[in-house]
Amino acid sequence: MIKTIKQILNPFNFVKMGWLNKIFTLILLVYTIAFSTYSLIYFPPLQVQSNLYGFTTDFINLMVIVFLFLMVQCSGLSKLAYLFSSAGLLFWAMGNIADVIDELVVQPYWVSVYFEDLFRTSGMLLTSYGLFKTMRFMQSIHNKLFLELTIDDLTKVSNRRYFYQHAKNISVSPYTILIIDIDHFKSINDDFGHDMGDKILKELAGKFNSLFLDQNVFSRLGGEEFGGYLPTSNMAEVANFTQQLISLAQTIHIKNNRFLTVSIGVALQKNDELLDQVMKRADLALYTAKKNGRNRVEIHS
């Protein structure tokens, strides 16, 4: 908050502003000076003792609107959100300036009622729409960031972060973890090039992902390793599912009559075992699958 106030009050920031920000800020500044000077010179002063309470509250209202207006000028909102918020707060501030001044002078009826209310009401309406647009803008940024944080760039399936978050947040217990690793992936890269390696990763991820439905999660954990989360403890079901994965991998053609194979390590959560421990056991099972000749599933007992 203090940092924002300092940023807003720094006159050098005005120099760095875009032309639209400068125009809006200048309109508010010139209007405030011109309207206040004109009113104080040409409208008769209040005969009764000034209403200090009314003046103070009106002045605070005005300062809040001006502060919000300056905040909008310093923020990086989308074009529409910025235009509506700026125009709305500008009009709102213009109406409030008349409200402050009428504690000091006797304003004609057209200023104190029509002018003031018209500006304030239209300002509120425009600001509300600007706020709506701002919220939509924030939501779209949030969605975009969420995707960037949870989707793997290359394969477009969920990434390691999403996998751990999902497995930790879902309360189904016990669950089953799969660690799926492509066999001899290094030799695919070495024999056919890195691009072919990437293509295989994408194809495998796309095909496997389509088998993980509902609350089942499939993610790329890193390199040529993928994770599976199945909210079930039915090992017959798991065995059937992992065999489908093994068969599906074998349909992926690499080159020169060579087809892909994967090895899978499986672990079922025991009692209230933590996710890291289940992952570790699935990894041990994967190691056994590799040792026993690859292209197979091993279940950690």
Ligand X SMILES: Nc1nc2c(ncn2[C@@H]2O[C@H](COP(=O)(O)OP(=O)(O)OP(=O)(O)O)[C@@H](O)[C@H]2O)c(=O)[nH]1
Catalytic positions are: 224
Binding range to ligand X, per CB under 6 A, among 51-59, 141-149, 184-192, 226-234: 184-192
Minimal distance, residue 191 CB to ligand X, in Å = 11
Orientation of helix 275-291 relative to helix 160-169, angle to 10°: 130
Using CA atoms, how far apart are residues 289 and 183, in angstroms rounded to an integer?
10
Site for ligand X in 152-171 (CB under 6 A): 154
Query: Are the C-beta atoms of 163 and 217 separated by less than 8 Å?
Result: yes
Phi-psi map region of 294: left, alpha, beta (phi>0 left; psi -120 to 50 alpha): left
Minimal distance, residue 254 CB to ligand X, in Å = 12
Of the pair 62, 205, the CB lying nearest ligand X is at 205
Binding residue for ligand X, selected from 197, 227, 228, 265, defined by CB under 6 A: 197
230: enclosing H helix or E strand: strand 225-230
Query: Are the C-beta atoms of 255 and 193 separated by less than 8 Å?
Result: no
192 forms part of the interface with ligand X (CB under 6 A): no
Terminal Cα-to-Cα distance of the chain (whole angstroms): 55
Closest residue by beta carbon to ligand X: 197
Of the pair 290, 296, the CB lying nearest ligand X is at 290
280 forms part of the interface with ligand X (CB under 6 A): no
Of the pair 123, 197, the CB lying nearest ligand X is at 197
DSSP 225: E
265 forms part of the interface with ligand X (CB under 6 A): no
Binding range to ligand X, per CB under 6 A, among 45-53, 80-88, 189-197, 245-253: 189-197
Rounded (5°) CA angle 267-242-287: 50
99 forms part of the interface with ligand X (CB under 6 A): no
Binding residue for ligand X, selected from 198, 215, 240, 255, defined by CB under 6 A: 198
Using CA atoms, how far apart are residues 207 and 54, in angstroms rounded to an integer?
70
Binding residue for ligand X, selected from 54, 108, 206, 223, defined by CB under 6 A: 223
Minimal distance, residue 190 CB to ligand X, in Å = 8
18 forms part of the interface with ligand X (CB under 6 A): no
- Tokens at residue 84, please? 């509506």
144 forms part of the interface with ligand X (CB under 6 A): no
Using CA atoms, how far apart are residues 185 and 182, in angstroms rounded to an integer?
6
Query: Are the C-beta atoms of 284 and 300 separated by less than 8 Å?
Result: yes
264 forms part of the interface with ligand X (CB under 6 A): no
Minimal distance, residue 179 CB to ligand X, in Å = 11
Question: In terms of DSSP bridges, do strands 262-268 and 258-259 run parallel, antiparallel, or are they unpaired?
Answer: unpaired
206 forms part of the interface with ligand X (CB under 6 A): no
Residues 27-41 as b/e (b if ≥16 CB within 10 A, e otherwise) read ebeeebeebbeebee
Binding residue for ligand X, selected from 22, 184, 207, 280, defined by CB under 6 A: 184
Minimal distance, residue 301 CB to ligand X, in Å = 22
